[in-house]
Structure formats: C-alpha cells, structure tokens
Structure 1
Amino acid sequence: MSTRAFRRLSRAERRGFINTIEDPLTRRAFEIVFLGPGKVSWRKAALLYGGGISPETLRVWVWQELQRA
C-alpha cells in the first residue's frame, strides 16, 4: 500500500493498522505522520520524532511497514 492510499483510509482504519505494528519506534513514526493534526512533511515528522533521525530514514521505516500490509 502506498502512503497516499494509507492517508485515504478513515482515521479509525489507520488507527487499527497502526495498533498492529509491533515495533514501538515504527508505531510512533506512524502516529506522528498519519494521526497528527493535518498533513506533516517528512522533515517536520523527523523533528517531532526527535533523536536526530533523518526524514529519509523515517520515510523508509513507514514505506517498509506499508509494504508488509
């Protein structure tokens, strides 16, 4: 599934998928990107995530998890 398709799901469907993610770091990335107030850029999401993570790393984590869906 693409990030665009994932964004089109209802908030409840997105929350249901996010709750199935076992890795807490990846789950937190999804919460920031897909459940926050409005659309967040990867750069802003990385800043909100903290820890010096790059926007590209965050994007790859999300992409890999969506490919497993």
Structure 2
Amino acid sequence: MPAAQLAGMTWTKSSYSGALGNCVEVAALADGTIAMRNSRFPEGPALVYTRAELTAFLAGAKDGEFDDFAR
C-alpha cells in the first residue's frame, strides 16, 4: 500500500527495536487489516495483512517454524 494512503495512521514500533531504528512498525487500519512497514523508511510502502494472516504468522514464529531463518 502506498505511504500516501497511510498518512495520519498511528504506528507502533517494537520495544525490541535496535538503536539504529531497524525494525518493523504496525498500524491498525479502519477495515480491520494491519499495515506493516520498515521503520527506517516510513515514507516507503507498507504491506497489509488480515488479522488471520498475522495471527498465523505469529503462531508459527512462537512455535519455532521460522528459526532456520535466524541462523
């Protein structure tokens, strides 16, 4: 989604964010979806996910499904 369509949204950054600001920010959209963007490039585009998609991703992360990517 283009950044212009997300102007005025309230973005939340992870408390695990690095000092350089290299993290993910999320914002709840009016239609119930969730926008996600790179905090280092707030003027850039954002990815938009349904709550079900984000819930499935977080469950997989908690279960260790993506641990191979961190190596």
TM-score by length of 2: 0.30
**Which structure: greater strand fraction?**
2
**Which structure: greater helix fraction?**
1
Give the structure with higher Rg (CA).
2
Structure with more relative contact order (C-alpha pairs < 8 Å, separation 6 or more): 1
TM-score by length of 1: 0.31
